[in-house]
């Protein structure tokens, strides 16, 4: 039996890299029986396609054309291989490829282009029109879903975010240099916050949640309570 419809039918979760948007968003979506849409995965998919096809990352027009041709989608299920969702791009399952170091190093460059962001925002809004959804990213509450019923801005300390990312990479068997990760995340913060197009910032009506000293379950419970109207 499905649960009672929450007060918040659309939920926007924004925040910097490593704050826990994806895992928290997934938990909230499961708890509410909603679709989870990680918009960052869509930018990663475009970045992966650009790298694999030799499209220059400084060619804004070519990236926009690629975004229009690629038909990027995020689906709620897929193979039972530990994935939280399935990312399709140009008919290819790119769920794991978009987490490569090469994509990590390049996605901020691609996502900083204003025309690219406009094209991707249109695609994200179309996906969100499915309803009963949780969207996570960096400009959901300010640009993609400015009228979302509930907006969350999730933060965590730089040290905690680097620790989490190091743990995630180590679990996949990758060699980890935590100090380098810290520097990379700080650089990503600066780029995301300082870009002219859709800079990373909390919406005026967003709830600020610090996940540094909280478990995923605690953060999820707090957001579900807000969605249900049980918290201020």
Look up residue 219 and give its two tokens.
């953060």
Q: What confidence tier does 176 reach under pLDDT thresholds 50, 70, 90?
A: confident
Report whether pLDDT(202) > 90. Answer: yes
Report whether pLDDT(232) > 70. Answer: no
Choice among 128-132, 199-203, 205-209 with the minimum mean pLDDT: 128-132
- What whole-number distance in Å separates Cα of residue 166 and Cα of residue 180? 10
Choice among 5-14, 52-61, 101-110, 186-195 with the minimum mean pLDDT: 5-14
Report whether pLDDT(6) > 70. Answer: no
Q: How far apart are the first and last CA of the chain?
A: 28
Question: Domains in the chain and their CATH numbers?
Answer: 10-218 (3.40.50.300)
- What whole-number distance in Å separates Cα of residue 153 and Cα of residue 107? 21
Question: What phi and psi, each to the nearest 5 degrees, are found at residue 135?
Answer: -110, 135
- Candidates 182, 180, 176; CA nearest to 162 is 182
Average pLDDT over residues 181-197: 87
- What whole-number distance in Å separates Cα of residue 36 and Cα of residue 75? 9
- Most confidently modeled range among 117-121, 123-127, 219-223: 219-223
Report whether pLDDT(3) > 70. Answer: no
- What whole-number distance in Å separates Cα of residue 136 and Cα of residue 145? 11
Torsional class of 33: left (φ above 0), alpha (ψ -120 to 50), beta (otherwise): left
- What whole-number distance in Å separates Cα of residue 111 and Cα of residue 126? 18
Question: What phi and psi, each to the nearest 5 degrees, are found at residue 113?
Answer: -70, 125
Kindly report, residue by residue over 126-167, the tens digit of the pLDDT.
888 777 889 998 889 998 899 999 999 999 999 999 998 888
Helices 21-32 and 216-227: crossing angle in degrees, nearest 10, is 50
Predicted local distance difference test score (pLDDT) of residue 4: 63
- Candidates 70, 11, 20, 61; CA nearest to 42 is 70
Report whether pLDDT(190) > 70. Answer: yes
Q: What confidence tier does 1 reach under pLDDT thresholds 50, 70, 90?
A: very low
Q: What confidence tier does 170 reach under pLDDT thresholds 50, 70, 90?
A: confident
Q: What confidence tier does 225 reach under pLDDT thresholds 50, 70, 90?
A: very high
């Amino acid at each position: 039996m499905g649960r009672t419809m929450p007060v918040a039918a659309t939920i926007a979760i924004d925040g910097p890299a490593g704050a826990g948007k994806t895992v928290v968003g997934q938990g909230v979506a499961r708890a509410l029986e909603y679709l989870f849409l990680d918009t960052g995965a869509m930018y990663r998919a475009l970045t992966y396609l650009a790298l694999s096809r030799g499209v220059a990352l400084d060619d804004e027009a070519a990236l926009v054309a690629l975004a229009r041709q690629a038909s990027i989608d995020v689906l709620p299920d897929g193979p039972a291989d530990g994935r939280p969702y399935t990312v399709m791009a140009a008919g290819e399952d790119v769920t794991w490829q978009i987490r490569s170091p090469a994509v990590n190093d390049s996605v901020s460059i691609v996502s900083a282009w204003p025309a690219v962001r406009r094209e991707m925002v249109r695609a994200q809004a179309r996906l969100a029109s499915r309803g009963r959804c949780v969207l996570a990213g960096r400009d959901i509450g300010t640009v993609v879903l400015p009228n979302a019923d509930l907006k969350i801005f999730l933060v965590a300390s730089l040290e905690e975010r680097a620790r989490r990312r190091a743990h995630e990479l180590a679990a996949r068997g990758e060699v980890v240099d935590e100090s380098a990760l810290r520097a990379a995340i700080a650089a990503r913060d600066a780029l995301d916050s300082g870009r002219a197009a859709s800079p990373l910032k909390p919406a005026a009506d967003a709830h600020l949640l610090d996940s540094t000293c909280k478990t995923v379950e605690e953060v999820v419970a707090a957001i579900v309570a807000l969605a249900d109207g049980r918290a201020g």
